[in-house]
Amino acid sequence: MGTHWIVEGKIDPRWPVNTRGNIGEVFPEVLTQLSYELGVIPAEKGWRESYQELGVLQPGDFSSVDPVIIGLYGGYGYLNMSFLRIMGVRAPGSSAEAIDLSLFGESDAPPYEAQKGDRSLRASLKILKSVLGALGQKELPSIVDDSFEAAAEFISTRPALDASDDELLAYLRAMPGPFKRVFKNHMTTTALASIVSGVLADASVAAGEPGLVTHLMGTAGDVRSAQYSHELYEIAKLVRATPAVNAAFDEGVDGLLDRVATIDDAAEFRERFDAFIAEHGHRGPNDWELSGRTWDNTPELALVAIDRMRVSDEELGVEHDAAEEQAKREAAIEKVRPTLNILDRMNFDKALTAAPFWSQAREATRDRAVRLTMPVKQVYRELVRRGAERGGNPDPVAIALLSPFDELSEYLADPASKADVLAERLALHARFAAVTPRFFITSQDEVPSIEELEAEEAARTASATAAPGDVLTGKSGCSGVARGRVRVVLDPLEAGDLEPGEVLVAPITDPAWTPLFMPAAAVVVNVGALMSHAVIVSRELEIPCVVSVDNATNLLVDGTMVEVDGTAGTVTVLADEPVS
């Protein structure tokens, strides 16, 4: 049987296909018990409510309340591809394949197999109403405001960090209710953004040029993740223009904030950096994980991005040429529109208007859902600090391996009582963190033990690297062609070697990664799809991007010359060239 993770879900035979596609941006690392109980379970409930209102979910689709859409198998989070495909099956004019392209970007997924109950006239009519409403969107939808209000209300009730253990625990345990509400909104905007963008993707395929969807989608404008990059770049320019602060950065980001605290000329830097953290400190790598790092608790993450931006000799800020963008879009429309029938043409025209608003809404509701978790993370880290003072483990990830509803209270009362349990779970966590999860799991028998994953990891890392002439194929993220040397970055905190003009190759990207896009010539990501984070932000920054390049971080090595074609979705390994 082998050794399994401390929390293991059960595959629903009605919905057997589960994938790491897309969720790799949400939960890229081993999923802790803390985040599963406080985050995943209410998220599943919110997702079901969202799909019920949209018309996708019908009575009898699920046989239990246990998480199915978001599964936890082999230590990692998975999305249930079988169920999410139903949106395409039941939505008029869509298909399971269209959902695959929009949400997952995978062409090698197990094919959709129709089952009794998949199609539903009632569902189709309700979805049609939802889709028509989405296609008619001409401004940012009001659901975004609801997420802002829900998050603000919960954030305002956070107790002071010197409150009692019981008060802090009560706040921690109160998260599921409001989180379900904001996550529900995020799933609604994600679903509608996928359907609307899928109209454009289908039209491009029908015209015989799938890559044109990147021009049809255009730039969404006001994308929050791109905003982070722009704000950090403005700070980077300030650093470059302030010799004393620039010199402090030359010594590295470790201890940097302490050094600049005593520099008179650093006053403006301190003020602007503090303002950035106050506004955006909730974001970070793996920012749905409640024990994870954020710009608030690990500001070095933002400092690394500033450091990489400040060393560029070129202007990195993107000034959108509206005329050029519109010309590209109009050219793509002229190629695609004549190939469509009258009804498809009508929907195509509506999707052109609506897509940017739903893209913005998806990003905004995600941002607000993550923002809601920030005070929870602050409270949680204070409890971890108290446990450490009482002789416990100071590592937030370690304590997150305890249940927040019973074991955490016991640990705070007597840390030594959980020492053996934590040691065992930490050792297991280290083993799961060192492996790559299976991309697809299609039955309970396929849920892997750690021993199986370790054997697969050994075989994966032994594979040969790409050689000159090899072409790695993925999915088009942002159009354009760029050449540069590869820089593989597995953690945004360890991006200190990324030089301007290099090609950033990453396993996944989330908001903590995107400030690193600005100095890069292009971006290549192991996973991703049409509506993934890397795609949306690369379009805003106008950087060639290819996603869903399987095993790219192993096949490509630092210093390799490559050509990234964001329109074709390819990465070509070039013969080595002397460094100029």
pLDDT digits (tens, 9 = 90+) for 173-209: 999 999 999 999 999 998 898 888 888 888 988 899 8
Answer whether residue 268 shows pLDDT above 50: yes
Predicted pLDDT at 95: 85
> For residue 522, which phi and psi values (nearest 5 degrees)?
-160, 165
CA nearest to 402, candidates 6, 16, 8, 33:
33
pLDDT tens-place string over residues 26-52 = 888 999 999 999 999 999 999 999 999
- By the 10 Å C-beta count (0-12 exposed, 13-18 middle, 19+ buried), 252 is classed as middle
The answer to whether residue 416 scores a pLDDT higher than 50 is yes
pLDDT, tens only, 124-151: 999 999 999 999 999 999 999 999 999 9
Higher per-residue pLDDT: 503 or 494: 503
Q: Which residues contact 290 (CB under 8 A, 6 or more apart)?
A: 32, 34, 35, 38, 39, 373, 376, 377, 380, 400
Using alpha carbons only, give the angle 387, 397, 186 rounded to the nearest 5 degrees. 120
Report the distance separating Cα 399 and Cα 139, nearest Å. 44
Please compute the mean of the pLDDT values over residues 285-293 and round it to a whole number: 92
> Which tokens sit at 537?
């932000």
Helix, strand, coil abundance in the chain, percent, nearest 5: 55, 10, 40
* Closest-CA residue to 298 (of 328, 253, 329): 253
Task: Decide: helix, strand or coil at residue 440.
Answer: strand
The structure tokens 């991005």 sit at 305
Amino acid identity at 262: T
* E runs forming strands in 354-450: 440-441
Do residues 573 and 553 touch, judged by C-beta distance below 8 A?
Answer: no
User: Tell me, what's the pLDDT at 579?
Assistant: 47
Q: Report the distance separating Cα 320 and Cα 333, nearest Å.
A: 20
DSSP-derived secondary structure letter, 35: H
**Per-residue pLDDT band at 468 (split at 50, 70, 90):** very high
Query: Regarding predicted confidence, which is higher, 209 or 396?
Result: 396
The answer to whether 442 touches 16, Cβ cutoff 8 Å, is: yes
- pLDDT for position 469: 94
User: Parallel, antiparallel, or unpaired: how do β-strands 545-547 and 522-525 relate?
Assistant: parallel
pLDDT score recorded for residue 225: 64
List phi, psi (to 5°) of 125: -65, -40
Task: Check residue 519 and report its DSSP letter.
Answer: T
% the chain with pLDDT above 90: 71
List, in order, residues 6 or more apart from 278 with CB less than 8 Å away: none
How many other β-carbons are positioned within 10 Å of the β-carbon of residue 311? 16
Averaged pLDDT of the chain? 91
Q: d(Cα 513, Cα 226) in Å, to the nearest integer?
A: 11
Tell me the C-alpha distance between 429 and 208, whole Å. 46
pLDDT score for 132: 92
Distances (CA, A) of 37 to 42, 172, 426, 433: 8, 11, 18, 20
- In the prediction, which pLDDT does 59 show? 93
Angle between helices 41-54 and 176-206 (to 10 degrees): 50
